[in-house]
Amino acid sequence: MKPVGVDDKSAYIVGSGLAGLAAASFLVRDGQMKGDKIHVLEELALPGGSMDGIWNEQKGYIIRGGREMEPHFETLWDLFRSIPSLENPDASVLDEFYWLNKEDPSFSHGRVIQEQGKELPTEGDLTLTPKAVQELLDLVMTPEKDLGDKKINEVFSEDFLNSNFWLYWSTMFAFEPWASAMEMRRYLMRFCHHIDSLSNLSSLRFTKYNQYESLIQPLIKFLESKGVQFTYNTHVNNIKVDTSNGSKVAKEIDLTTDGKDNTISLTENDLVFVTNGSITESTTYGDKTHPAPTEHELGSSWQLWENLAKQDEAFGHPDKFCKNIPEANWTISGTVTLTDDEVTPYIEKISKKDLHSGSIVTSGPVSIKDSNWLYGYSISRQKHFKRQKDNELVVWVYGLFSDKPGNFVNKKITECTGDELCEEWLYHIGVPTDKIKDIAENHASTIPAHMPYITSYFMPRKLGDRPLVVPEGSKNLAFIGNFAETDRDTVFTTEYSVRTAMEAVYTLLNVDRGVPEVFGSAYDVRTLMRAIYYLDGKKKLEDIKLPFKERLVEKKVMEKIHGTYIEELLKDAHLL
C-alpha cells in the first residue's frame, strides 16, 4: 500500500555509498516517493562510497577492496531483484548475479600459503584445541551487554589465536586480535553456517566486474531514470536537531557545495538519512615510486557525526571508532596491474585456475601465514574492469599488520611504494628473488592506498556507541550504513548497509512491509550440529574424549534417541 502522506514528503540522503543508494531505491520502490523529491548529497565527485573500482588517467586501475557476498544477504538481494542489469535490461542484477555464480561457483584451491608459495600442510583443518572450542562456545553464550569494550584477545587465549580457524576467519573478515569481541560474537552467530567452508570459500559469491561497475552503476542508472537528484562535491557540515519534549526533529542542514555555504530548512515532512562515519574517508594514494601519504584530516562524514553527537546522547559516540586506532591496524591495500603473463605461472600454481578463462581465480583472499604483514591477495574474474586489456591482470593486495617490516622489503607496509608492495607479494608467491625487482618495475604497476579508518567498524565498543537506525523519538531523522545499530546483523558487509537503509525508510514512512529477518543460522539445530562437527575436527560423538561420568551420560542419551528423528539429525551432521 502507498504510505499515507508520502506525496507531501521529501528526502535528503547524506552520502551516496551503498546505504544511501539503497535508501533512495526503497523510497522509490516501496515508499512510492517521487524521484524528484529525493536529494542525494555526496562529498565526492562521483557516487559509490566504499563500493569502488575506478580507472584513473594518471595512476591506472584502483580498487580499495572487494566485497564478499553470500546467498543469505536477504535485504541486498531484495534490493537488486528490482534493479535492471546494464548488460541485459530484461534481467535484474540479482538474476545476472545468480546465473553467473551458479555457472562459475566460488572455490579456493589455495586458501593459505607459506614458505614462498607452498600450500599450508594443515590446509582444511581448523586445528582447534578443546580449550579453543570451549572459548568459542563461551563467547557465543555471553550476552552482548557483557562484552562492552572487550577485545578479542581478552576472551580468547593463544590456543585459539594460533589455530587455523582464526587464520581463516581473521583474514577473510579482516579481524585483528584487538578488535571488538562483541562484533566477533555477532559474526560467529551470523555466519556459523559457513564454518565448514572457511578453508575453501565455497560459500562466497562475487560480481562479474568490480563492484562499482556491477552494482553501483546499475543502481545509479535506475535512480536517475526515476528522477532522483544527485548533488556532488557537497560537504554536509551539520544537521541541527530539535531534541525538546522527548522527540527529535531535524530542522536544518548546513552544507557546502563547490565551496559555497548553504542552508536547507526542514520540516517533519523532510526525511533525513545520514551515513555517519566512513571506512574509506580520507583515503590517500601513492604510485609506483611513492608510498601513499599517511597524513590526513578527520573528514566530513566523521565531523558531521561529531556535530550530531554533541546534540544528543542517542546519536552515538564517533570518537570510539575514529580516534585511538592502533598503529598495527590494517590501513594499506594496493592494486597491482600486471601487463603481461610473466607472473601467471606462479599464480596458477597456487590457484590451480586459468587466469584468462573468465572464471573467478582465488575466490576470495589467499593469505600468507608466515608474512610479517599477514599479507594477502585476491584475484577476481578477469577482466575485473570492462575496459581492461586482454594482456592485463588486476590483483588486490592488503596487509593486516602495519607495524612490522616485510619479509622481503625491510619496511613497514605504510612506508612502501607501489613497486615495493608488488615486490613483497611476488616474493611470497614464489617468484625467484633475482626476477622480483625487474617484474615489479617493468611488468607491473602498483598503486598503494592508505585508508586510516578501514577497520574502524571493528573498534571495541559498547551498546549505545552506535546510534539506532531510527533513534527513539525521531520524527524525520535516521542513521544508515555500518555505523548505525541494528539487531544481530554484522558490519563490514553490503548486507548491513542495505538492511539499515531498508529499516530506516520503512520506519520513517511506515511502509507496510516487513524488513526480512537476518538469516537465522544460529537458531537452526542442523547448522549448529554441523558446526560442532567441523569445530571438533570432523569427529563423531563417540570419538570425542569425555570424562568417564559424561561418557556414561552420553551412552544413556544415545540409547534414548536410537531410532528417533534426533538420531537422524545427528547422522545428517556426521556426528553419528
Report helix angle 525-535 to 565-572, nearest 10: 50
3-class DSSP assignment, residue 362? coil
Query: Is the CB of residue 368 less than 8 Å from the CB of residue 474?
Result: no
Q: Grid coordinates 548505525 are at which residue?
A: 484
Which residues touch 31 (CB under 8 Å, ≥6 apart)? 3, 6, 505, 509, 511
Which residues touch 228 (CB under 8 Å, ≥6 apart)? 24, 28, 35, 36, 38, 39, 40
The 270-275 sheet, strands edge to edge: 229-231, 38-41, 10-14, 270-275, 477-480
Which of 12, 187, 346, 506 is flagged as catalytic? 187
Identify the CA nearest to 535 among candidates 112, 165, 121. Answer: 165
| Radius of gyration of the chain measured on its C-alpha atoms | 24
Written as one letter, the residue type at 523 is Y
Catalytic status, residue 187: yes
> Is 187 exposed, middle or buried, given 0-12, 13-18 or 19+ CB atoms closer than 10 A?
buried
Question: Rounded CA gap, 14 and 247, in Å?
Answer: 21
Q: Grid coordinates 588486490 are at which residue?
A: 396
In the structure grid, which three cell numbers stand for residue 430, read together?
Answer: 614464489
Catalytic status, residue 506: no
Within 10 Å of residue 82's Cβ, how many Cβ atoms?
A: 15
Percent of the chain that is helix, strand, coil (3-state, to 5): 35, 20, 45
Chain-centre distance for alpha carbon 528: 24
Mode of pairing for the β-strands spanning 477-480 and 270-275? parallel
Mode of pairing for the β-strands spanning 229-231 and 234-242? unpaired
Identify the CA nearest to 183 among candidates 463, 554, 510, 481. Answer: 463
Question: Rounded CA gap, 113 and 158, in Å?
Answer: 21
Identify the CA nearest to 22 among candidates 542, 561, 525, 478. Answer: 478
Query: Is the CB of residue 377 less than 8 Å from the CB of residue 395?
Result: yes
3-class DSSP assignment, residue 428? helix
> Is 560 exposed, middle or buried, given 0-12, 13-18 or 19+ CB atoms closer than 10 A?
exposed
Query: Is the CB of residue 351 less than 8 Å from the CB of residue 113?
Result: no
Question: Rounded CA gap, 249 and 474, in Å?
Answer: 6
Q: How far apart are the first and last CA of the chain?
A: 51
Which of 12, 42, 43, 68 is flagged as catalytic? 68
DSSP string of 11-55, one letter each residue: EEEE--SHHHHHHHHHHHHTS---GGGEEEE-SSSSS-TTS--EE
Q: Grid coordinates 559474526 are at which residue?
A: 187
Query: Is the CB of residue 496 less than 8 Å from the CB of residue 466?
Result: no
Residues that are catalytic: 68, 187
